[in-house]
Structure 1
Amino acid sequence: MKKLLISTFFTLLSSAVFAQEFTVSGVVTDVNGQPLPGTNVILKGDGGTITDFNGTYKVSLNLGKHSIQFSHIGYVPDSRSVSVNGNLELNITLVESSETLDEVLVQAVRVSADSPITHSNLDKEDLEKRNLGQDIPYMLSYMPSVVTTSDAGAGVGYTYIRVRGSDASRVNVTLNGIPYNDSESQGSFWVNLPDFTSSVQSLQLQRGVGTSTNGSGAFGASLNLLSDAVSNEANGEISNSFGSYNTHKHNVKFSTGLLSEHFELAGRLSTIQSDGYIDRASSDLKSYFLQGAFVADNTLIKALVFGGREETYQSWNGLEDPEKLQNDRTFNTAGMYTDEDGNTQFYDKEVDNYAQDHYQLLWNQRFNNNWSTNVALNYTKGKGYFEQYKEDEDFETYGFEPLEIGGDTINTTDVIRRRWLDNNFYAVNANVNYKNNKIDFTGGAFYSYYTGDHFGEVIWARFASDSEIRDRYYDSNGTKTEFTVFSKGTYTINSQWSIFGDLQGRFLNYKTSGITSDLVEMIYDENYTFFNPKAGLSYKMNTENQLYFSYGKAHREPSRNDYEQGIITPEKLDDFELGWRFASEKIKVNTNLYYMNYKDQLVLSGELNDVGAALRTSSGKSYRLGLEVDAEIQILKNLRVLPNIALSTNKNVDFVSARDGELVNLGNTNISFSPSVVAGNMLEYSPIGKLQLGFLSKFVGQQYMGNIDSEASKLDSYFINDLNIVYTLDNLPWINEVVFSALINNIFNVKYISNGYFYTYDDDFSNPGTITTIEGAGYYPQATINFLLGATIKF
């Protein structure tokens, strides 16, 4: 017994000794000795932390050897192996990387961790966990104030994002600092760049006005993406995933690494196919990415060619039939027609078919530790059409002459038509950056030229009259030029205070000619001059707390659809942001209060035009007032939670609408598609170092699809949950690692609707002498429980 007690005592003592924790702490700075807040301090297989606003960090480690990696956007990661046998001070200096474009290329449109601009970041590691074929909007789903939706219902094909209630046409998107939004529609169509997530190094979403950037003004957010960085080592990747609705994605990636220490060639080929949750809402998507790079001590030159081809069966009609919405929610009316025997048929080529190619040349030059420059050239070519079967169309619409057959006059016909867009976008962007221990200044200029041809063809007609194949029944053109200059900088007054200033001038011309698809002449030649000042102030109360305030003004020109409705007045926005950030070893919290005051805001009316594009109306005066909170809490070394919530009120002031034949002031009404509550959460747990489990939740409150607070326009709230599983095998012969991943979406099988449309029209037939406003709505049902499984082999 005595021996057993002694043995037990020493065993417990030994366990206590080996379980003892020690503190490793220090400061992370750049080569100028400036602290780097927001640096990721990653413990291999055992959690981690981030540096606070003074660049300091602290982690607790058991006795023994540990691997720690320090990484920050724009800097070379630093990995250290440390032996812990007591408290240890470890200070780190990170060197700016000449192999990534973050520091200059993206610096013009990005902000740092302690900037007075509300923002969130995602890096490649974050994106890889759920990159199984869904589009980029779905990679952002769990960010604050973000709502996503999909026409086909499962995140493949046409997908959309709204931030703070603003749709994608009001979210400024840049790829390597070059605008991605279409110059005329102002939308971002991710279906044209399928699997682009696989070529993204990092991204930043700035909510609100954000900083000055290139392209149309940000009225909801700015999203900037940086493509893959140069790789030092040769590597390759094969990735395959499969899932519900016959969804599958296959891609291959490679990099030669640096050849002769200076040259790299890298690329990717991808294909994604899916039948879609909605009937026939299929997607056949192909994309590529090719990068050639030259790297020297102070020079980085990249030549990029990337693009995509998409063919998607149309599913933009939604469902208006309540019975089908209840009992046949996947029904798709697109392509539906009646044959000669009265049977319902569906045209098999009711598709959208479009190709888009991007060519970029990027030159990043560092002269010394203070001065650097960047020059970027871009050419984007887009061309494609959507095809439709239309019944009983009037000859007059297509310029056909009436036919006489057997004494009968024929002036209607079934047709198959294509509506084309053929566009070209040229852009040049240049900026210079100066940085020392007090000043970080960037100034630059941007010029772009866009031309787009819009035309329609009849490729078949039951009665073709005197037409020729591919006659154009409408033809119009739009050209847009933009010149932008900006200067912005941060001045560090002392260890606590810093100020931010930003001045931007945008000079635009938009010119149109010809006949639209509605056979209406469209002739405009409009010039716009916008001055957009911004300013901010940051105060570091201590190592853990920071306060900031910012003000930004923005203007936006109307889109082509707005012009077609006769709207030419630009929008104006004043955005006020007040924020508090807290960062400690275990907890990080971002809180901000915003007030966005609009004049002549173009809000979604809820209606769609005949090609499924959302129409807008001017709301006069309107505002958004909201509170956003997001956090990262390290509960245990292998368990963390990332909750966020956005509470807001979004109002049109004294909104006027036509009701029953009269204009009526409805007072303050809710802005369309602007839920007052949007919340999300990510619970991440690693039971063992190579296994990661993620439980993801999203709640979106009720919202109106119109601006008149009609019950018929209401979308119900919904709460959905996903499960993400990632397991990594490494130390394999001939293979660096194999990553297995699974994503089970909507695990509780919720039948929800995230998008729809609302319309009104006047009925003066049922009651002669009176006008009654009739209301209607359509809905886009989203997928119930579904899954994606994937494996990636990395060489």
Structure 2
Amino acid sequence: MIAALAVVLCPVFSWAQFKISGKITETNGRALSGASIRLKNKLFTAASNSAGLYEFSNLPAGNYQIVVSYLGFATQEKNIQLSGHVTADFTLSPLAFVADEVVVSATRVAKNAAFTYKNLTRADLEKVNQGQDLPYLLNQTPSVVVTSDAGAGIGYTGLRIRGSDATRINVTLNGIPLNDAESQGSFFINLPDLASSVDNIQIQRGVGTSTNGAGAFGASLNIQTTTRRDSAYAELNNTYGSYETWRNTVSAGTGLINNKFSFDARLSRIKSDGYVDRASSNLKSFFVTGAYYGKNDILRLNVFSGTEKTYQAWNGISEEMLQTNRRHNDFTYDNQTDNYQQDHYQLFYTRNITKQLVANAALHYTYGRGYYEEFKKDRTLSDYQIDPVIIGGTTISKSDLVRRLWLDNDFYGLTYSLTYTPKTNLNFTLGGAYNRYDGKHFDEVIWAQFANYNGSGSIRHRYDDNDAFKSDFNIFGRVSYQLGQLNIFADLQYRNIFYSYFGLDENADPGQQRARLEFFNPKFGLTYNLTDKSNVYASVAVGNKEPNRRDFTDSNVNTRPKHENLTDIEFGYRTQLAKLTAGINGFAMLYKDQLINTGKLNDVGGQTRQNVPNSYRIGLEFDARWQIVKNFSWTATATLSQSKIKNFTEYVYDDTIDGDLLTFDYNNTNIAYSPKIVASNEFAYSYKNAGIALISKYVGEQNLDNTSASDRVLDAFFVNDVRLTYNLSLPGIKNVGLNFLVNNIFNVRYESNGGSGAYLSNGDFGRYKYFYPQATRNFLLSLNLKF
């Protein structure tokens, strides 16, 4: 009877729900507010409240390992066998050395901040990193759309967040700007396999908090590279996949030597033929870092570099070609390639001046140089400052030629921050940067059919040479105050930009021109903790952004476009339950003088961007992860949005009749490349050492221009991938990991990017479209060895 009763009651006990609660304090008994508490290898996370209290409820019986961390304190772990309610208090001791996290803390938001963000850990990145460019590793985060010129995620890739392209996404590496100072884009192709040296990333959508570099008009990516690892390690990663894709990465580290020093290094090579014909990539990179950890300070030096040679696939293909030869490439010249190298040097110093006061400073230098080479057919020689050639009494003024467009630049400066925490519920930050950019732009003709008498040979004729200089200074002050359940946040930034470039003066005469812009960017937010596990928040932030290089050079001083202004309103709800983490966020991004393509031409007939007075993006974002049962989880994101320009005029000029043009007026029209729906989904199941995941991405219809025309769109697409993993240990090897990824498993034919334009010739009006086809079913197989 006793045995029978036990059998009946066992399921009852196994389904019983218990809680773990406690208090987090430091050694002097003071409560630590905002400490991070998580259950190791579980979904569950929590943060201590203003009294240092935390709680996990509705937990089934079992064994749990609790990990408690707090910036500046040693992490603690406890193992708990849960068969009833348990109280687990933690007393944290100050670190014997400074934590790496303080290096980037000035440009990041805290756990309960009134802004929308997503944190990705090293483990998150390792799970998806098989050599594709960094944007592809962010594809399952909210509001993200990625694209690839070569079609397979290697080579030139694009990233949009909330419909905003890379020129509107602020990217920092350890707080140091990565965006190009002139074009304002971030080119991850210049740092191949960067993800293998990344410890964590925080993605802030919208304006976000103050950061360094160009203004964040769609989002900001705050990337922190390799941090301290206490134990020595070595790792070898090899990937082979479709289109002769290869990735080879070796990395190693010393761990902490004598509790003071650490050294880490990585060497990578990635090669791929690309899905698109001839769209090959040959990428190489290295990363080396060394650090000194004292009781109150950190000194770290990062040296890393990337080099790329990529065959161009920039033109896309026509709509007709999509049906007949999706992998077509317009370019056929053997060396139609982009060639670039970028070297980075970063020196960081962090000092705990007192227990409440932490200072950070960083010096940095980036050297970039390279060119793209292209064949041009039947070009007018005088456009290249080459005299006509006379052969047999015949004057030849046009010729086939090969040209190289060069960029040689230096970017250097200082970033700094000072953080003061007089109380656990009060925090002040003062930060900023001063950066300088020196850019040399020059173009060469290296071969022309009729440039010399015998029609052969390299002539290396330089026909364009101009320099640019840009300085960027900013300073920001930030305060966060916890008043009971309410957190109050304020952030004020001043930014000053000086830009000198070769352009046109008010009389359209060429020469060195200058521009100075000053911005004030205030941000305010409120977060209210409904419980220890959920909160609501709201914020308003102002961002201002300067025009890019082309906007300056495509205009004269009088026609120069205005800077862009954005007011970003964010509000939302977040919760962390025992098996569910979820958040919903609403946003309204209100633009003034946003720059768009209208078809208007510059003084020499080139397309320019023009300001439109009023435009906006509004939407809702959802992000959740549900641990349905022990081995099965569901992760999902969804964005519903609308992006509109209230009114603008499109210009179409006749290329044969000087001065003739057509104009079209538009009201309440869609902003190009802004899908109304973006959603992602992942079902993941694990059993012992094996795992399987179904990964899905849906992107709604996108307009190719700003006219809302229904015949100029990218069709919606729904793509599914399957990832298989298996891990085991062998003698002498900590872990052997196999990762098999099948992309686009249902062989969907789709295009994730494209463009359109209009033309007028002898009074005949027409429009054209082009597209960038993405790879059909393809695979990547990886072998990872950890020692």
Give the TM-score of the pair, scaled to structure 2.
0.92
Structure 1 position 747 matched with structure 2 position 745: yes
How far is 1:662 from its partner?
Answer: 3.9
Query: Equivalent residue for 1:709?
Result: 708
Structure 1 position 51 matched with structure 2 position 46: yes
Deviations 1:658-684 (A, max 9, x none): 368343331111011111111111222
Name which of 569, 577, 596 aligns with 1:603. Answer: 596
SS in 1 for 2:395: strand
One-letter amino acid matched to 1:49: F
Query: Equivalent residue for 2:7?
Result: 12
Q: Distance in 2 between matches of 1:14 and 1:547?
A: 41
Query: Equivalent residue for 1:123?
Result: 121
Q: Distance in 2 between matches of 1:708 and 1:74?
A: 53
Query: Equivalent residue for 1:331?
Result: 328
Query: Which range is displaced more, 432-441 or 309-318?
Result: 432-441
What is the correspondence of 1:397-436 to structure 2 with a 5 Å cutoff? 397-435=383-421, 436=423
Contact 1:477-1:514 at 8 Å conserved across structures? no
Contact 1:42-1:70 at 8 Å conserved across structures? no
What is the correspondence of 1:293-304 to structure 2 with a 5 Å cutoff? 293-304=291-302
SS in 1 for 2:544: strand
Contact 1:272-1:284 at 8 Å conserved across structures? yes
Query: Equivalent residue for 1:337?
Result: none
Q: Distance in 2 between matches of 1:135 and 1:113?
A: 28
One-letter amino acid matched to 1:249: R
How far is 1:22 from its partner?
Answer: 6.3
How far is 1:65 from its partner?
Answer: 5.0
SS in 2 for 1:417: strand
Query: Equivalent residue for 1:473?
Result: 463
Change (3 A) 1:584 1:663: same
Q: Distance in 1 between matches of 2:652 and 2:487?
A: 52
One-letter amino acid matched to 2:18: T
Change (3 A) 1:614 1:547: farther
Change (3 A) 1:389 1:254: same
Change (3 A) 1:53 1:91: closer
Contact 2:703-2:713 at 8 Å conserved across structures? yes
Query: Equivalent residue for 1:672?
Result: 672
Q: Distance in 1 between matches of 2:440 and 2:239?
A: 38
Structure 1 position 663 matched with structure 2 position 653: no
Structure 1 position 441 matched with structure 2 position 433: no
Query: Equivalent residue for 2:785?
Result: 793
Contact 2:598-2:649 at 8 Å conserved across structures? no
How far is 1:305 from its partner?
Answer: 0.1
Query: Equivalent residue for 1:184?
Result: 182
Query: Equivalent residue for 2:732?
Result: 734
How far is 1:390 from its partner?
Answer: 1.5
Query: Equivalent residue for 2:614?
Result: 621
Change (3 A) 1:74 1:623: farther
How far is 1:103 from its partner?
Answer: 3.5
Deviations 1:345-396 (A, max 9, x none): x221111000001000011111333111100110000000001111212111
What is the correspondence of 1:252-291 to structure 2 with a 5 Å cutoff? 252-291=250-289
Query: Equivalent residue for 1:35?
Result: 33
Structure 1 position 248 matched with structure 2 position 246: yes
Q: Distance in 1 between matches of 2:322 and 2:65?
A: 55
How far is 1:711 from its partner?
Answer: 2.9
Task: Give the gaps of 5 or more residues in structure 2.
Answer: 654-660
Query: Equivalent residue for 2:531?
Result: 542
Deviations 1:725-772 (A, max 9, x none): 222213x32221112112111111111110001111223x2xxxxx45
How far is 1:287 from its partner?
Answer: 0.4
Q: Distance in 1 between matches of 2:407 and 2:243?
A: 30
Query: Equivalent residue for 2:656?
Result: none
How far is 1:77 from its partner?
Answer: 4.4
Change (3 A) 1:599 1:685: same
Contact 1:170-1:186 at 8 Å conserved across structures? yes
Q: Distance in 1 between matches of 2:247 and 2:70?
A: 31
Query: Equivalent residue for 2:657?
Result: none
One-letter amino acid matched to 1:205: I
One-letter amino acid matched to 1:713: R
Q: Distance in 2 between matches of 1:704 and 1:100?
A: 50
Query: Equivalent residue for 2:627?
Result: 634
Change (3 A) 1:570 1:65: closer
Deviations 1:193-217 (A, max 9, x none): 0000001100011000000010011
One-letter amino acid matched to 1:202: N
Query: Equivalent residue for 1:461?
Result: 448
How far is 1:615 from its partner?
Answer: 6.4
Name which of 632, 641, 645 aligns with 1:648. Answer: 641
State percent identity of aligned pairs.
41
How far is 1:38 from its partner?
Answer: 5.8
Change (3 A) 1:734 1:268: same
Q: Distance in 2 between matches of 1:243 and 1:664?
A: 48
Q: Distance in 2 between matches of 1:98 and 1:505?
A: 36
One-letter amino acid matched to 1:200: V
Contact 1:606-1:672 at 8 Å conserved across structures? no
One-letter amino acid matched to 1:50: T
Deviations 1:495-541 (A, max 9, x none): x111100000000001012799xx99463200000000110111112
Structure 1 position 153 matched with structure 2 position 145: no
Deviations 1:253-291 (A, max 9, x none): 111112222111110000000000000100000000000
Deviations 1:523-566 (A, max 9, x none): 32000000001101111122233111101111000001111222
Query: Equivalent residue for 2:381?
Result: 395
SS in 1 for 2:323: helix
Q: Distance in 2 between matches of 1:130 and 1:26?
A: 34
Query: Equivalent residue for 2:207?
Result: 209
Structure 1 position 220 matched with structure 2 position 218: yes
Name which of 477, 481, 486 aligns with 1:491. Answer: 481
Q: Distance in 2 between matches of 1:89 and 1:132?
A: 43
Contact 1:628-1:645 at 8 Å conserved across structures? yes
SS in 2 for 1:169: helix
Query: Which range is displaced more, 131-140 or 454-463?
Result: 454-463
Q: Distance in 2 between matches of 1:53 and 1:231?
A: 26
Contact 1:475-1:514 at 8 Å conserved across structures? no
Query: Which range is displaced more, 363-372 or 183-192?
Result: 363-372
What is the correspondence of 1:316-395 to structure 2 with a 5 Å cutoff? 316-320=314-318, 322-334=319-331, 346-395=332-381
How far is 1:477 from its partner?
Answer: 1.1
Query: Which range is displaced more, 133-142 or 361-370?
Result: 361-370
Q: Distance in 2 between matches of 1:788 and 1:541?
A: 45
SS in 2 for 1:108: helix
Change (3 A) 1:232 1:475: same
Contact 1:582-1:590 at 8 Å conserved across structures? yes
SS in 2 for 1:563: helix
One-letter amino acid matched to 2:346: Q
How far is 1:469 from its partner?
Answer: 2.9
Query: Equivalent residue for 1:782?
Result: 774
Residues paired across the two proteins, number: 761
One-letter amino acid matched to 2:460: R
Contact 1:49-1:57 at 8 Å conserved across structures? no
Q: Distance in 2 between matches of 1:250 and 1:605?
A: 45
Query: Which range is displaced more, 79-88 or 212-221?
Result: 79-88
Q: Distance in 2 between matches of 1:420 and 1:324?
A: 32
Q: Distance in 2 between matches of 1:293 and 1:185?
A: 33
One-letter amino acid matched to 1:568: P
Q: Distance in 1 between matches of 2:57 and 2:256?
A: 35
How far is 1:144 from its partner?
Answer: 0.8
Query: Which range is displaced more, 721-730 or 382-391?
Result: 721-730
Q: Distance in 2 between matches of 1:520 and 1:245?
A: 50
Contact 1:579-1:590 at 8 Å conserved across structures? yes
Contact 1:606-1:758 at 8 Å conserved across structures? no
Contact 1:98-1:299 at 8 Å conserved across structures? no
Give the TM-score of the pair, scaled to structure 1.
0.91
